């Protein structure tokens, strides 16, 4: 049976501030009320970094930060003379820019034109996915707003892609298999943004579960929920406000090095290599490639161990694995940076006595955020102490926030209660 995530099942109410902002923004920009409201969350990865595109294991959770798209049909009377009758007009509140997408022709990578903003490529890529399936997208007005930090390593791009796909499902009345929807969004990121990511970000945004984290087997592309509901322990996310750019070649270089390592070891992916093979094989051609492989193989083992400890409620053991993960990402995979290292080192310096179980960088690296497991009663004190250390070192602020596990993408029912605006039927 096809596994279709029900887009009408959701965990975010209509009075959520981001939803309200989308409705108000749509009214101000386009007039009237939206006919559809599609929401998709960002994600934080507890452990399992750079293993997804190596067919490994990851343990992310969807977060209570969302991208919301408010949309309505764009009728002929609202078109300017310069617009094609089949045009999607988008405005991004977060970016402060607008884009126009001609829906009357096949959308291809690289054909956006010099004046289209880069963020629109994620939307264009998803539309292209629907076109490849033979669907014709009608003219739409779309207002986009988001509380997912841009460039924070929390999958703002995946949230935009998945929100777009959920919106188009509703507009076209065509349900899409949940995993296939994630694959469509991943292809959009590969082809239209130039980032050869794995499936983790998109699959988490689609299938996020408020009960806990998702253990994703990236070879079989299957998931299971790992409950995480202890109110005494919180997930503290600290955004360095250093924005990474994964399309600049470093991410692709790491992926190519992993592919090379697997080929030299004679395995289909590093998922099927052992640490002993990596350490001892004379076939690996360079110390750099060996270090990349060592990180991936050891990170898979850490991720599976973290699941066992999380299920047992042993947060101290999970925390130690997080510290080991960060050290591997810093030394073997070389994707950390001074800002991330300081936050993790400061957290470790505070230790269990101050309520810190563990910390690591999260996301692709080269900036972004850290994720920490901390005592709920100590969140504010930990944030202040680490924030002060960060400000002393770098002369600027980091941005901390706490998130529980969140539900995946869904539609918000449109009607009364949306800022006093009623949608037309």
Q: Break the chain into its structural domains and give their ranges.
A: 17-43+62-206, 229-403
**What end-to-end distance do the CA atoms of the chain give, in Å?**
32
CA nearest neighbour of 193 among 364, 22, 402: 364
Phi and psi at residue 340, in whole multiples of 5°? -65, -45
How far from 62 is each of 159, 220, 284, 295, 323, CA to CA, in Å? 10, 20, 37, 24, 21
**Which two three-digit tokens encode residue 14?**
């209509």
Is residue 201 annotated as part of the catalytic site, yes or no?
Answer: yes
Radius of gyration of the chain (CA): 22
Q: Chain-centre distance of CA 358, in angstroms?
A: 21
Q: Cβ distance 55 to 218 under 8 Å?
A: yes
By CB atoms closer than 10 A (0-12, 13-18, 19+), residue 358 is buried
Token pair, residue 148, equals 């997912």
From CA 48, how far away is CA 9, in angstroms rounded?
28
Q: Which residues pair with 90 in a beta bridge?
A: 99, 142
Find out whether 41 and 159 touch, Cβ atoms under 8 Å: yes
- Spatial contact of 292 and 258, defined as CB atoms under 8 Å apart: yes
Are the C-beta atoms of residues 238 and 400 closer than 8 Å to each other?
yes
| Number of helices and strands in the chain (H, E) | 11, 12
Could you say which DSSP state residue 418 is in? B
Q: How far apart are CA 289 and CA 261, in angstroms?
A: 6
Residues 395 and 45: their CA atoms lie apart, in Å, by 27
Domain 229-403 belongs to what topology?
A: Alpha-Beta Plaits (3.30.70)
pLDDT score recorded for residue 151 = 83
Give the Cα separation of 325 and 56 in Å (integer).
14
> What is the pLDDT, as a whole number, of residue 60?
98
Percent of residues in the chain assigned helix, strand, coil, to nearest 5: 40, 20, 35
* DSSP code string of 54-101: GT-EEEEEEEEEEEEEEEEE--GGG--TTS-SSEEEEEETTTTEEEEE
- Position 4 scores a pLDDT of 36
Task: Chunk the chain into consecutive blocks of 10 residues (it has 425) and report each block's average pLDDT, rounded to whole numbers.
Answer: 38 79 95 95 97 97 97 70 76 89 89 71 96 95 94 92 98 96 96 89 97 97 93 97 70 94 98 97 96 98 98 97 98 96 98 97 93 98 98 96 96 62 31
Longest alpha-carbon distance in the chain: 70
- At a CB cut-off of 8 Å and minimum separation 6, what does 213 contact? 46, 59, 60, 61, 225, 226, 228, 310, 405
In sequence order, the 6+-apart residues with CB closer than 8 A to the CB of 98 are 89, 90, 91, 92, 117
State the pairing for strand pair 140-146/87-92.
Answer: parallel
Q: What pLDDT, on a 0 to 100 scale, did the predictor assign at position 246? A: 53
* Candidates 201, 209, 338, 341; catalytic one: 201
List strand residue ranges (DSSP E) for 297-339, in order.
none
pTM (two decimals): 0.90
Which CATH entry fits the domain spanning 17-43+62-206: 3.30.230.10, 3.40.50.1170, 3.30.70.600, 3.40.50.1360?
3.30.230.10
């Amino acid at each position: 049976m096809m596994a279709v995530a029900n887009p009408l099942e959701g965990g975010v109410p209509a009075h959520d501030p981001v939803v309200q902002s989308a409705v108000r923004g749509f009214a101000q920009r386009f007039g009237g009320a939206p006919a559809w409201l599609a929401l998709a969350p960002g994600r934080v990865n507890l452990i399992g970094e750079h293993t997804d595109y190596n067919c490994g294991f990851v343990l992310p959770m969807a977060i209570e930060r969302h991208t919301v798209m408010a949309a309505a049909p764009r009728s002929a009377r609202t078109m300017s003379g310069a617009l094609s009758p089949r045009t999607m007009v988008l405005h991004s509140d977060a970016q402060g820019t607008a884009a126009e997408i001609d829906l009357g022709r096949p959308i291809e990578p690289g054909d956006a034109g010099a004046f289209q903003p880069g963020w629109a490529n994620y939307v264009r890529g998803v539309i292209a996915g629907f076109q490849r399936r033979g669907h014709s997208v009608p003219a739409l007005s779309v207002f986009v707003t988001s509380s997912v930090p841009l460039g924070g390593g929390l999958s703002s791009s995946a949230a935009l892609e998945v929100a777009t796909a959920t919106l188009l499902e509703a507009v076209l009345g065509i349900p899409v298999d949940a995993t296939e929807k994630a694959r469509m969004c991943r292809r959009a990121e590969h082809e239209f943004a130039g980032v050869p990511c794995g499936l983790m970000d998109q699959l988490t945004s689609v299938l996020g579960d408020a009960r806990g984290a998702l253990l994703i087997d990236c070879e079989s592309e299957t998931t299971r929920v790992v409950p995480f509901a202890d109110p005494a322990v919180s997930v503290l996310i600290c955004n360095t406000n250093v924005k990474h750019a994964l399309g600049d070649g470093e991410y692709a270089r790491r992926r190519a090095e992993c592919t090379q390592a697997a080929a030299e070891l004679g395995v289909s992916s590093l998922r099927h290599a052992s640490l002993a093979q990596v350490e001892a094989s004379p076939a690996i051609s360079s110390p750099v490639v060996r270090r990349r492989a060592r990180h991936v193989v050891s990170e898979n083992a850490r991720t599976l161990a973290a699941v066992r400890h999380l299920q047992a409620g042993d947060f101290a053991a999970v925390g130690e694995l997080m510290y080991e993960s960060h050290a591997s990402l810093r030394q073997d995979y070389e994707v950390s940076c001074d800002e991330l290292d300081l936050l993790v080192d400061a957290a470790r310096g505070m230790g269990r006595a101050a309520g810190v179980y563990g910390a690591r960088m999260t996301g692709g690296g080269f900036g972004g955020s850290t994720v920490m497991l901390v005592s709920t009663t100590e969140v504010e004190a930990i944030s202040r102490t680490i924030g002060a250390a960060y400000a002393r070192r770098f002369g600027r602020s980091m941005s901390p926030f706490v998130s529980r596990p969140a539900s995946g993408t869904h539609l918000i029912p449109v009607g009364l209660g949306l800022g006093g605006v009623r949608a037309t039927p």
